[in-house]
Amino acid sequence: MEGLFTANNVWMMICTALVFFMHTGFAFLEIGLTRQKNTINILFKNIFIITVGLLLYYVAGFNLMYPGFAEGSAGFFDFAGFGIAAPENGMTPEYASGGYTWWTDFLFQGMFAATAATIVSGAVAERMKIGAFMIFVVIYVGLVYPIAGSWKWGGGFLDQMGFYDFAGSTLVHSVGGWAALVAVWLLGPRIGKFKDGKAQAIPGHNIPLATAGVLILWLGWFGFNGGSVLSADPALTSLTLVTTCLAAAAGGVVAVLVSFIKYKNLDLTMFLNGILGGLVGITAGADVMTPESAIIIGGIAGAIIVFAVAFIDAIKLDDPVGAIAVHLICGIWGTLAVGIFSTNPEHTFLIQLIGVGCYAAFCIISTFIIIFTLKKTMGIRVSEKEELEGLDAHEHGMEAYPDFRLNEH
């Protein structure tokens, strides 16, 4: 028993490290798909999210998300107190069915919390005031994400209803995606993104770095989904990793094929986002899918990406990294796919749809209140001069690549 408990806990700590490493992937992807003059700004936001996110999760987030809803509770909101004092059995095999210790539980879930805000970072890139973004992160990661998480993972009302989200297609990706959608709408597009009603390409400055970011994220998903088994169970863990990888591969291949048919070019960025779409799509049900179902789910997610990116441009929303298409739209698809493809007959499409609707309402309303309030008080958008010259110089007083500047004399 002790040996199994130790093995389970070691696996969960490895998964925690892999999810932590995903923040490197997010950072690389975001800076690669945006312009050089905003690199420091994006990196600063990513570092802020991890550091402050973990501290907020320690102070209150963990106990908001796992409050231990009382018998007969409505399962909507509860709070177990500040800090993370471990229960008596927190470091023993009696805790969490011998899957891991209380401390490992906290750290693994804390890594997920920070991920939701990182999704928003990419969508609002290149034009949002750093101060406004930091305040948004504190409120969203500190309050909104853990309350939303408690509804399913904390044993709340959606969990009691039978809603299923294995590793976070909705609880992480759509929670971040809904926030990104509202933030992008309230911010408006970057200068030059739309001319005469048509979307203009604003190329990223480092596509090799963006590619590395996607490969790092795929690697990180071994921890994201593999760790969500919550033990090192051999059969379930290996199945989860197989379905995760097949969905990613299918998402990439289908996205690039559909993109080629639609635009007559082999677009690497569409290939990359297709992989991410497949990963997000399989995340809700990676443990209850056959490999064949995983390929179908990932492939459909890859096709969705191509049309979702075009649709977001068509409605005049500016998302520099495709975060809304990847995390929100594929997150919704993946959550609904559980009701269609799950090997567990108790998972129904209607309950999955109700869950998606509940999260949509909560995240849209809360994000709107936070960002609209910031817009009316301190402002959320940098000045035209700051945007044109770059946020690095104006918000941070430094450059990402000072040695590579062309000789001006």
177 Cα distance to chain centroid: 7
Specify the pLDDT at position 405. Answer: 57
Specify the pLDDT at position 404. Answer: 62
- Residue 406 covered by a domain: no
Supply the range of the domain harboring residue 199.
Answer: 2-75+83-398
Least Cα distance to 339 among 196, 165, 185 occurs for 165
Specify the pLDDT at position 409. Answer: 46
- Taking 70 as the pLDDT cut, the residues of the chain under it are 404-409
- Residue 302 covered by a domain: yes
Tally of structural domains, the chain: 1
DSSP 381: B
For residue 35, the number of C-alpha atoms closer than 13 Å in the C-beta half-sphere is 15
d(CA 48, CA 50): 6
Residue 195, CA distances (Å) to 18, 146, 316 in order: 42, 40, 11
CB 116 within 8 A of CB 149: no
- Residue 408 covered by a domain: no
Least Cα distance to 239 among 343, 108, 327, 351 occurs for 343
Contact residues for 315 (Cβ-Cβ < 8 A; gap 6+) = none
Residue 85: left if φ>0, alpha if ψ -120 to 50, beta else—which one? beta
CATH number at residue 248: 1.10.3430.10
Beta strand 194-195 with 198-199 is antiparallel
- Residue 300 covered by a domain: yes
Read off the pLDDT of residues 109-128 as tens digits, 9 standing for 90 and up: 999 998 888 999 999 999 99
Contact residues for 240 (Cβ-Cβ < 8 A; gap 6+) = 225, 226, 228, 229, 286, 287
pTM for this entry = 0.96
- Residue 45 covered by a domain: yes
- Residue 407 covered by a domain: no
Contact residues for 27 (Cβ-Cβ < 8 A; gap 6+) = 42, 43, 46, 213
Tokens of 30: 């975001």
- Residue 409 covered by a domain: no
C-alpha angle 357/361/367, rounded to 5°? 140
